[in-house]
Amino acid sequence: MDAKEVPNWLLALEKEDVEFIKNFVVNSGSLKEISKIYDVSYPTVRIKLNRLIEKIKANDAEETEEFISFIKTLSIDDRISLEDARLIIDKYKKIEKSENNE
């Protein structure tokens, strides 16, 4: 696969996320093994995996605009609250709609 073929969802991930995916695959998807590698509890690994899944989904949707994807990622990473993310996205969509109607 050459650099042009790398999916956008993969490019949007942080190095730590890619390393987690690598460890997950190498360990046959065993969350128990991953919890040993990272020296954390199984539920902590499950939360990390769930967040990673949501991050991939947010970045994989072709119709999702870059700004909206960015806001969703901030929310998934717990950098902003879900409610704040919704407010920002709603405001952004209203501005975009009004600019397109002009």
Same domain, 55 and 70: no
Q: What angle do CA 50, 56, 58 make, to 5 degrees?
A: 105
**At which residue do the structure tokens 């991930």 appear?**
13
Please compute the mean of the pLDDT values over residues 40-67 and round it to a whole number.
84
Tell me the HSE value of 9 on the side-chain side, using a 13 A CA sphere. Answer: 15
Same domain, 49 and 12: yes
Same domain, 23 and 53: yes
Q: What angle do CA 83, 11, 69 make, to 5 degrees?
A: 20
Contacts of residue 87, defined as CB under 8 A and 6 or more positions apart, other chains included, come to none
What domain count does the chain have? 2
Same domain, 17 and 36: yes
pLDDT band at 21 (very low <50, low <70, confident <90, very high): very high
Same domain, 41 and 70: no
pLDDT on residue 64: 57
Same domain, 51 and 96: no
Domain span at 5: 1-60
Same domain, 77 and 38: no
Q: Which residue has the higher pLDDT, 23 or 77?
A: 23
Same domain, 49 and 23: yes
CATH code of 50's domain? 1.10.10
pLDDT digits (tens, 9 = 90+) for 58-96: 776 654 577 887 888 888 888 998 889 889 988 988 887
Same domain, 76 and 52: no
Please compute the mean of the pLDDT values over residues 35-53 and round it to a whole number.
95
Same domain, 53 and 71: no
Same domain, 75 and 47: no
